[in-house]
């Protein structure tokens, strides 16, 4: 029988567009759960935020991604959605609201340079990330 442990990670953001490295927090949650082999599912229950896995060694990669997304989907570009955050909804859709990561020997199976990022596109805000660890 499979064991499933669910928790919520609180994330505070400080800018309208921001990538917050949450690798350590997710890794700690997996360790606390005590599951050796399985997977972790990360889910963002917000329409203007996302989660992604990418390089966490060089912070300029995050800046490049944010800058390119802002170039591709600029704010105030004549959108029909009148709240002023239509670009945030589109960026969330492009990046995606979930990730699944294998867990082996109690550790996230991320590549050498990979990190997990909560992607804020309508901040600053207090956000939540649902984390489900299963064996």
- Over its length of 135 residues, how does the chain's per-residue pLDDT go in tens digits? 678 899 999 999 999 999 999 999 999 999 999 999 999 999 999 999 999 999 999 999 999 999 999 999 999 899 999 899 999 999 999 999 999 999 999 999 999 999 999 999 999 999 999 999 999
Structural domain harbouring 123: 28-134
The CATH number of the domain holding residue 58 is: 2.60.120.460
Residue 5 lies in a domain: no
- Residue 90 maps to a domain: yes
Considering the entire predicted model, what is its pTM? Answer: 0.95
97 within a domain of the structure (yes/no): yes
Separation between Cα atoms, residue 43 and residue 9, nearest integer Å = 10
Q: Count structural domains, the chain.
A: 1
In a domain, 87, yes or no: yes
DSSP code, position 77: S
Within-domain flag for 64? yes
Nearest to 92 by CA among 127, 129, 119: 119
């Amino acid at each position: 029988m499979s064991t499933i442990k669910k928790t919520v990670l609180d994330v505070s953001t400080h800018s309208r567009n921001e990538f917050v490295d949450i690798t350590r927090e997710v890794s700690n949650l997996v360790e606390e759960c005590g599951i050796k082999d399985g997977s972790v599912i990360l889910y963002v229950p917000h329409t203007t935020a996302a989660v992604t896995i990418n390089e966490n060694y060089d912070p300029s990669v995050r800046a490049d991604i944010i800058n390119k997304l802002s170039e591709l989907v600029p704010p105030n570009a004549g959108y029909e959605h009148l709240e002023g955050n239509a670009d945030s909804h589109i960026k969330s859709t492009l990046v995606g609201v979930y990730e699944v990561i294998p867990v082996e020997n109690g550790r996230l199976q991320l590549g050498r340079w990979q990190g997990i990022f909560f992607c804020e596109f309508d901040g600053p805000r207090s956000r939540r990330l649902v984390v489900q660890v299963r064996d």
